Amino acid sequence: MDLSPTSSVGKAQKTTLPTNHHQPPSQKTSSSRQKASSRFHLTQTKLNVVKNLAEYFCLSVKDLSILIYRKHDEITTTSVNRTLRLLEAEGYVEWRQLTTRLRKTGNLPLIYGLTQKAVDLAAEEGLVTPATKVFKPNSDVPGS
């Protein structure tokens, strides 16, 4: 094996690629990456949250944890909270603070319900029940 300075063996081949420094980077490529990374995927967990909110009208994180995972612990709470954040960011759920006359101290729990977008999704998925409606103040009162 010839390893002399004139030999091509053992030397890295230097390849130059033509570059055009006068054109800006393609905006299509960067926007395509942004769209790909921000795509919303309807997972089974997200669909389970929508299904349960369609069935019960409004639920807390604890309620959703028990309905979806059959238990309420730190892991299931984290999963439900993350799913709700993703659904809220996409406009599928809204939250409100539960008002109660019984609780005098501590934080009031948050309750979650569906937006019109989620009600439409529930209809597409065949998940509509009599409780399936847009979550807004007094929407649980008949005739409102």
Which residue is associated with the tokens 């967990």? 45
pLDDT of residue 17: 42
Distance CA 95, CA 113 (A): 6
Look at the pTM and tell me if it is higher than 0.75: no
How does pLDDT run across 63-114, given as a tens digit for each residue? 999 999 999 999 999 999 999 999 999 999 999 988 776 766 777 889 999 9
Domains in the chain: ranges and CATH: 45-125 (1.10.10.10)
- Rounded to the nearest 10°, the torsion over CA 100, 104, 109, 111 is 10
What's the confidence (pLDDT) of residue 97?
87
Average pLDDT over residues 27-38: 45
Phi/psi-derived region of residue 132, left when phi > 0, alpha when psi is between -120 and 50, beta in every other case: beta
Alpha helices by DSSP H, listed for 7-143, are 27-37, 44-56, 61-69, 74-89, 116-125
CB 90 within 8 A of CB 40: yes
Beta-carbon contacts of 32 under 8 Å, excluding residues fewer than 6 positions away, are none
For residue 119, is pLDDT > 80?
yes
Render pLDDT for 34-68 as a digit per residue (tens, 0 to 9).
444 468 899 999 999 999 999 999 999 999 999 99
CA–CA dist 9, 11 (Å, integer): 6
pLDDT value of position 67: 97
120 pLDDT above the threshold of 90: yes
